[in-house]
Structure 1
Amino acid sequence: MDKQVEQQILSSLMQIQGTLDEHSNILNEHSKILNEHSEILKEHSKLLKEHSNILESHDAKLQSHSDMLKEHGRMLSSLRTGQEELKAEIDGMKLENAKEFGEIKSRISIVEAQNDALKDETWQNKIEIYRFKKLFGF
């Protein structure tokens, strides 16, 4: 082979070697960048796991609060029912008391009328007694 061809081949091989070295350097830089991104992704993965745990904890608390709210709702409903029953009972007692008061008022009115009649009758009797005393001289 001719020396010139050998020279060209060697020159081409050196250029190829230079290009391969450049590509190796680029691949090494990309490899470093990928490693850095992997570390960042690992950190983000940890954060996401922590947030997932926090969310699960909050979900459990919300469920607990929801259960408590339901129980409080049932208690309030029971209290309302009890209050309504007591109110109905009190209203019944008021009606009964009003009836009794009306009856008592009616009786008092009758007693007052009887008292007035008795008073008039007693007065009439006193007048008659006084007249008899005068007549008989007592």
Structure 2
Amino acid sequence: MEKEILKVLEQINGKLDRQEETLKLQGETLKEHTGILSGLRNGQEVLKAEISELRLQNAKEIGEIKEQLKGIEDSVGVLKEDTWQNKKDIHRIKKTMGMS
């Protein structure tokens, strides 16, 4: 009977050893995964900062482009008025000279 108890205890001890080894391996895996996740988080933070900087630069450039477009619109308006005035003057001169 004592031999049977010792045999059962050895089997239990063997199972516990295997479970201990499994737990050690899982612990190592968790440490590796923790390192990987930390790296990913840091990478995400860097990318978020870069994206924010790009958005800021884009907003600034869009503002500058809008200012340039406003200047161009103003210039086109002046040119349109000048062209219309020139056409009227040309027509008046032609009429005065009897050419129209």
Counterpart in the other structure of 1:47: 8
1:105 aligns with 2:48: no
Aligned to 1:56: 17
CA RMSD of aligned residues (A): 0.7
Q: Which amino acid aligns with 1:133?
A: K
Which residue is equivalent to 1:19?
none
Q: Distance in 2 between matches of 1:78 and 1:87?
A: 14
Q: CA deviation at 1:135?
A: 0.6
Amino acid at match of 1:102: G
- 1:38-97 CA-to-partner distances (Å, cap 9, x unmatched) read xx2211110111110111111011111101101100110001100110110011001001
- Structure 1 runs (4+) deviating above 3 angstroms are none
For the residue of structure 1 that corresponds to 2:6, the secondary structure is helix
Identity of aligned residues (%): 44
Distance 2:15 2:75 in 1: 87
1:127 aligns with 2:63: no
TM-score norm. by structure 2 comes to: 0.96
In the TM superposition, what whole-angstrom CA distance separates every residue of 1:95-115 from its partner, at most 9, and x where no partner exists? 001100000011001101110
- Whole-Å separation in 2 of the counterparts to 1:47 and 1:136: 128
Match of 1:94 in 2: 55
The equivalent of 1:75 in structure 2 is 36
In the alignment of these two chains, the number of paired residues is: 99
Look up the equivalent residue of 1:61 and give its one-letter code: T
Mapped to 1, the partners of 2:39 and 2:25 lie a distance apart of 21
> Which residue number corresponds to residue 26 of structure 1?
none
* Structure with bigger gyration radius: 1
Letter matched to residue 74 of structure 1:
G
Partner Cα distance (2:8, 2:77) in 1: 99
